[in-house]
């Protein structure tokens, strides 16, 4: 007789981190069943990531990761980052691309 046991895997650390980011951005709660099951959390992420309203196209401030990387490039290249880049995600991205080694 075959056993009908469903194996549930715990969510990955990246899944949990991403879900928390989405939840905080859209002011939502991650259900307990989703935070304990990889498939359920993946489904929750898919449903809610479209609602994630953080700017992605240069219409918001540069992200902390962009700033960190740009500052590292600026030290290597010995040049300053224009102040307006810190206020525009797209502009920071273009500055980074233009100053990559």
pTM equals 0.47
* Model pLDDT, residue 48: 84
Where are the domains positioned within the chain? 13-51, 64-98
Is it the case that residue 96 has pLDDT exceeding 90?
yes
Q: Band of the pLDDT at 47, cuts 50, 70, 90?
A: confident
Radius of gyration for the chain, computed over Cα atoms and rounded to the nearest angstrom: 19
What is the number of alpha carbons within 13 Å of residue 28 lying toward its C-beta? 20
The tokens describing 46, both together, are: 């898919």
């Amino acid at each position: 007789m075959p056993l009908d046991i469903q194996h549930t895997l715990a969510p990955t650390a990246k899944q949990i981190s991403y879900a928390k980011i989405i939840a905080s951005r859209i002011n939502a709660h991650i259900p307990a069943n989703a935070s304990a099951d990889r498939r359920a959390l993946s489904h929750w992420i898919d449903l809610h990531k479209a609602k994630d309203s953080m700017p992605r196209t240069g219409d918001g401030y540069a992200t902390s990761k962009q700033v960190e990387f740009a500052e590292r490039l600026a030290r290597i290249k010995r040049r300053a980052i224009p102040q307006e880049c810190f206020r525009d995600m797209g502009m920071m991205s273009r500055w980074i691309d233009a100053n990559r080694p």
